Amino acid sequence: MDQDIALRLKHIREQLKLSQRQLARQSGVANATISQVEAGKLNPTVSMLKKILDGIPMSLGQFFSDDAPGQERMFFRADELIEIAEGGVSYRQVGANLSTKAIQLLKECYQPGAGTGRHELTHEGEECGIVLSGRLEVTVGDEVAVLGRGDAYYFRSSLPHQFRNIGSEPCELISACTPPSF
């Protein structure tokens, strides 16, 4: 478990003067789950953390960002991309604070068998992506597709969706969503 997630979540919740029970009610996540995450005893999946943050409300990008709004940057080196996930899934975001931006661009990597979790994701806007390598199972509503190198997707993010690497090698892709709500 990344203690940074536990400490960051607790700090943000306390800054907003929310109890664990209030956050549980607002997010629809069990109070015990939030308690375990904050105690560092439970490593949340991407979808679980997103669901908790929806109760604040806050995007994953905002949660993991250390930067405050400031001077506009136009160029980012590979080691400057902001990691907004951990474990079997990596989301490396271009730019840190996207509160004044219209689009969120990510370089994603799913390890074999890894996915966004058992909870479907929903958020405002639209998203799209292109698979660079590997195989990715994408579920949007009732539709399921297995995408390979060069294949792409585009859908309204308000539709419940999930991603999972069903292959035996890492799956890398570039994705974008607008507005930056993930």
Based on the fold, state whether residues 103 and 24 are members of the same structural domain: no
Per-residue pLDDT, 71 = 60
Q: Which of 20, 22, 65, 58 has the alpha carbon at shortest distance from 39?
A: 20
Q: Which domain, by its residues, includes 32?
A: 3-44
Tell me the CA distances in angstroms from 12 to 16, 42, 57, 108, 111, one per residue in order. 6, 18, 11, 26, 29
Question: What is the predicted pLDDT for the residue at 144?
Answer: 98
CA distance 182 to 65: 12
Per residue in 44-67, is it b (16+ CB within 10 Å) or e — as a string?
bbbbbbbbbbbbbebbbbbbbbee
Identify whether residues 171 and 84 lie together within a single domain. Answer: yes
Same structural domain, 34 and 85: no
- pLDDT digits (tens), the chain, 182 positions: 456 888 889 888 888 888 899 999 999 999 999 999 999 888 888 888 888 998 888 878 778 765 544 567 789 899 888 888 777 899 999 987 777 889 999 999 999 999 998 889 898 899 999 999 999 999 999 999 999 999 999 999 999 999 999 999 999 999 999 998 77
Asked whether residue 34 falls in the same domain as residue 72, the answer is no
Neighbours of 110 (CB within 10 A): 26
Same domain, 17 and 72: no
23 and 51 in contact (C-beta within 8 Å)?
no
pLDDT of residue 69: 47
Closest listed residue to residue 61, CA positions, set 12, 16, 87, 94: 94
Tell me what pLDDT residue 99 has: 75
Length of the chain equals 182
Inside any domain, residue 50? no
